[in-house]
Structure 1
Amino acid sequence: MEQAPIRVRNLNHYFGAGEARKQAIFDISLTIVRGGLTILMGPSGSGKTTLLTLIGALREVQEGSVVVLGQELNGASETSLVALRRRLGFIFQAHNLHESLTATQNVLMGLEVHGKGNTVKQRAAAAHMLDILGLADRRTYLPANLSGGQKQRVAVARALVSNPEIVLADEPTAALDKDSGHNVVRMLKAMGQSRGMTTVMVTHDPRILEMADRIITLEEGRVVSDTNP
């Protein structure tokens, strides 16, 4: 039986210390299967982004177990965590583009951190991903000359160009119009079906719920509903 790419067991997480210590995640257990699009929903402060960053090895796992691509994150060394992050793709609401680099150069950074391919192949892959996202005529533009939606699509291209095994996305469609947002989510779903890429997405965007394979709703750090437990 194939091992699930993401397995969370009895996860608790806290912020602060002493009397200011506050629990943000309460005893969450989830198994996320390969190739699907899972959406995390819930009001602001419900723990969605905290859970996403714990799965992405961007926060230290304090209590419980998080196993991602066979790697237990609780107690893992920084070297192991860095190696794991290189197998993941991250899309954040803040696009985090380098202002001094063109769209193509920003996307190339998604390959350089992985050390994948030679320069010619890397540039071809970056150009192809930008073309798919409707940015063929913006490849040489600096971020200052791109709209908010175009910047977000460059960030999506950067996350996907290395063919990650898992994509973790925090509000990836927030800056996009309806058509662009649908196109990005369709692309994530297609890559799940064709390459087995697993996507976990935090969103408040009701327009894309119909495309989800699974919807998990959090409230006050707890899972309150799950369409596919």
Structure 2
Amino acid sequence: MKKKIIGLALTIAVVSALSTAAYASTYVNNEDVTSSVFTSSSNGYTLFPVRYLGEKLGCDVYWNPDDKCITVSKDDIHRDFYNGSAAVYDWEGNSYNLVTAPKLVDGNTMVPAEFYRDQFGISVIWDDVTSSLFINSENTYNWLVDTAEYKDAKKRKSQLTQDQARDRLYNAYDSTDQPYLKINDEGESSDYYYFFVLRYNDFTGYYVNWGDYKVNKNTGAVSKK
């Protein structure tokens, strides 16, 4: 039953990703935590409360109020860092750099998920098709990319838009003699956009159909219908 619920949620994610670029979901340990975790962003990375994400991933998180140092530990791996600094230190004297510096937001120390990837070997996958982040959720991600809905969404995301197809057709003509293009059929279920090519007839005062053309959504190739 749980797998069916996850599957339904991910299918909805695929559909939502097609309708709005703002859509985003976050999965941790194969669980959708989008509505239960506060996030922020920095330099293009999503930041999570270090304690929330750390404890979800089986880490211990400590705060030292004297030197304001945050320590994250799991088994024999220990990492120290400070808000505002991208530097991370282990207990052997080595230092590493985070992809973006942690920051304090509403009393929460926020870190990128990549901190756990780079320092603790946790899988972090960003999926551009659904605008979703998968943290230690490879099983859910692998299931998702094998669905028919996802494959269809990925194909459509890589295709030309109608405006891009129109530009390809315009570019097939001399820049000083541009035709008027009218969409005939978006061809949503096919690999082509179809256009009427119309030119103005000065004698009659009407546009005349000069032919039907199609533009391949995948390659951009222009050809007569």
Q: TM-score by structure 2 length?
A: 0.28
Higher relative CO (CA 8 A, sep ≥ 6), structure 1 or 2?
1
Identify, as 1 or 2, the structure richer in strand: 2
